[in-house]
Amino acid sequence: MLRLDPASSVLLVVDVQEKLAPAMPAAALEQVHRAARILLEAARLTGARVLATEQYPSGLGPTVAPLREALAAAGVEPIAKVSFSALGEPAFVSRLLSRRPRHVVVIGMEAHICVAQTARDLCNLGVDVHVPLDGVASRRDDHRAAGLGLSERAGASITTAESVAFDWLGEARGDAWKAVSKLVR
């Protein structure tokens, strides 16, 4: 297992949308928001690339406001899709493969549908996939657990947002480390 190299990593934020978010358990949704904050900041500080998707945005709405603002600040425009796997959307595949990543970290909703199908398809492409367990949610906890299991059986590593962030950082010194350390406290 290779250390996550931010220069060849993508953080993928899947379908954290306004009309879908209220259906998530409150604690799980808060964990997703926390994980997204940590990973977006770590990506910014280390140079990891960020991509995002929105499932059927005319029906499920845009990405939730705080995350939408953070993505916009990073210059990321979510890619609309109707396929459950992000890899079913040609615009996403084109953007992803414009600089083929070695590692993709997948967070978002729902763990047992869009996240698991995307993780499986990325693994089938030969990408090293990481799914932070604190970065995914489903409407039901048993569905979330099933989604994590599906992702793992497909070949993804189940991890945490902090593990990914500190792997990208590589050492406990410098301004980037200080900034990420403040977020995880």
E strands, 15-135, are 49-55, 79-81, 103-109, 128-132
Nearest to 150 by CA among 119, 110, 109: 119
- Of 81, 121, 123, 134, the catalytic one is 81
Length of the chain, please? 185
Q: Parallel, antiparallel, or unpaired: how do β-strands 128-132 and 103-109 relate?
A: parallel
Whether omega before 110 lies within 30 degrees of 0, making that bond cis, reads yes
| 123 labelled catalytic | no
- Of 19, 114, 134, 178, the catalytic one is 114
Give the span between the Cα atoms of 151 and 157, in whole angstroms: 8
| 15 labelled catalytic | yes
| 81 labelled catalytic | yes
E strands, 56-115, are 79-81, 103-109
Give the span between the Cα atoms of 126 and 19, in whole angstroms: 33
Give the span between the Cα atoms of 18 and 101, in whole angstroms: 29
Q: Parallel, antiparallel, or unpaired: how do β-strands 103-109 and 9-14 relate?
A: parallel
Q: Please say whether the beta carbons of 84 and 108 come within 8 A.
A: no
- Of 5, 15, 19, 167, the catalytic one is 15
By annotation, the residues acting in catalysis are 15, 81, 114
